[in-house]
């Protein structure tokens, strides 16, 4: 039996919204994603607060999330929706 389907595994990485680190402990990842940071997350961003006519910038934290995704693909020499060929 010749293998016709050679699916590609993709890893999708995203980051949650930047918020004050003290509020980031319970920030969830979107549905289907797995959180790969612990505690308050990574302190690598800034969030903004508007006070009257001024916008203030503060250091913040965010979490990193990943999702494994399998993209259907045909093996070399095969094509079409059913990966037929040759």
Work out how many domains the chain is built from and give that number: 1
* Bigger pLDDT: 85 vs 32: 32
Q: How far apart are CA 76 and CA 65, in angstroms?
A: 32
Q: Is the pLDDT reported for residue 76 higher than 90?
A: no
DSSP code at position 17: P
The answer to whether position 57 is within a domain reads yes
Closest CA to 27 of 35, 46, 82: 35
The answer to whether position 1 is within a domain reads no
The tokens for 66 are 């990943």
Beta bridge pairs of residue 28: none
Task: Kindly list the distances between the CA atom of residue 74 and the CA atoms of 23, 26, 68, in Å, as whole numbers in the listed order.
Answer: 45, 41, 19
pTM score of the predicted model: 0.73
Per-residue model confidence as pLDDT tens digits over 8-63: 999 999 999 999 999 999 999 999 999 999 999 999 999 999 998 999 999 999 99
Domain that holds residue 19: 8-71
Q: Predicted confidence band at 1 (pLDDT cuts at 50, 70, 90)? A: low
């Amino acid at each position: 039996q010749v293998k016709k389907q050679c699916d590609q595994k993709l890893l999708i990485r995203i980051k949650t919204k930047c918020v004050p680190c003290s509020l980031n402990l319970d920030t969830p990842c979107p549905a289907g994603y797995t959180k790969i940071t612990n505690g308050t997350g990574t302190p690598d961003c800034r969030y903004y607060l508007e006070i009257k006519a001024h916008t203030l910038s503060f250091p913040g934290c965010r979490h990193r999330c990943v999702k494994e995704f399998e993209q259907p693909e045909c093996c070399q020499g095969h094509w079409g929706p059913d990966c037929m060929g040759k």
